[in-house]
Amino acid sequence: MTARILRVDASARVEGSVSRALSARLADRLAVPDGTVTVRDLAADPVPQVDAAWVEANFTPAEDRTDAQRAALAGSDALVAELQAADAIVIGVPIYNFSIPAALKAWIDQIARARLTFRYTENGPEGLLKNKTAWLVVASGGVAVDSPVDFATGYLRHVLGFVGIDDVRIVDASRWGALNDHEQQAVFDDVDGAERRAAA
C-alpha cells in the first residue's frame, strides 16, 4: 500500500534549520518506494490563530452553520483533512524557549476539533485519528529531550494521543550544537533507519 506522509515544518528558519533538514529526510525515507509526501510549511503559509468567529462557528452544529461560519472553518477543515488522509505524520519541532513555536501551537488549535478529531464519550474523550504514526523530529540548542525543562515533547505526545495518534516516535536532535560529528551522524543514521522501524 502506498504510504501517505504529512510533513509539518514549524521552524521559523527556512535555511539552516536542523528540524527542517531532518524532517524532510525522514519523510522521504518513510515514503519509499512509491509513497507521497504532503508538506505543510507553517512558516511559509502561517496558520491563523483561533479567534472568536472560529470558536462560534466550531460550537455551531455543522448543519446549522452560516456561509460565514463555514468560511471561518474552511482552513481548519483543510488541515484536518490532511491529517485524516495521512498514514504517518512527521513534525519538525524546534524547541523555542523550552516549548513549541507559536506557529505549531496555532496548527494544533486548528486541528483539535471536537466531533472531527476527537469526541467526548461517557468514558471520557476519545481520539478519532486512529491507526497513524507520528514522528517528532525534536531539535534544540540546549534543551535535552524529556528533560525537566522540555515542555515540547511531552505536550506533543499528549495532544497527539488526545486526537487518537498513540504511536509517537522521537528523533532526538536536541542540543545539536553540542554534539560532535559522530553524534550528529548517529541522528542521521536514526532517520535513515526509520523505514525499517516503521515496518516493525
3-state secondary structure the chain: CCCEEEEEECCCCCCCCHHHHHHHHHHHHHHCCCCEEEEEECCCCCCCCCCHHHHHHHHCCHHHCCHHHHHHHHHHHHHHHHHHHCCEEEEEEECECCECCHHHHHHHHHHCCECCCEEEECCEEEECCCCCEEEEEEECCCCCCCCCCCCCHHHHHHHHHHCCCCEEEEEEECCHHHCCHHHHHHHHHHHHCHHHHHHC
Feature table: binding site for FMN: 11, 17-19
Using 50 as the pLDDT threshold, list the residues of the chain that sit under it: none
The answer to whether domain 4-199 has CATH 3.40.1160.10 is no
The pLDDT value given to residue 58: 96
Feature table: binding site: 11, 17-19
pLDDT by residue (tens digit) across 58-109?
A: 999 999 999 999 999 999 999 999 999 999 999 999 999 999 999 999 999 9
The pLDDT value given to residue 8: 98
pTM score, whole prediction: 0.93
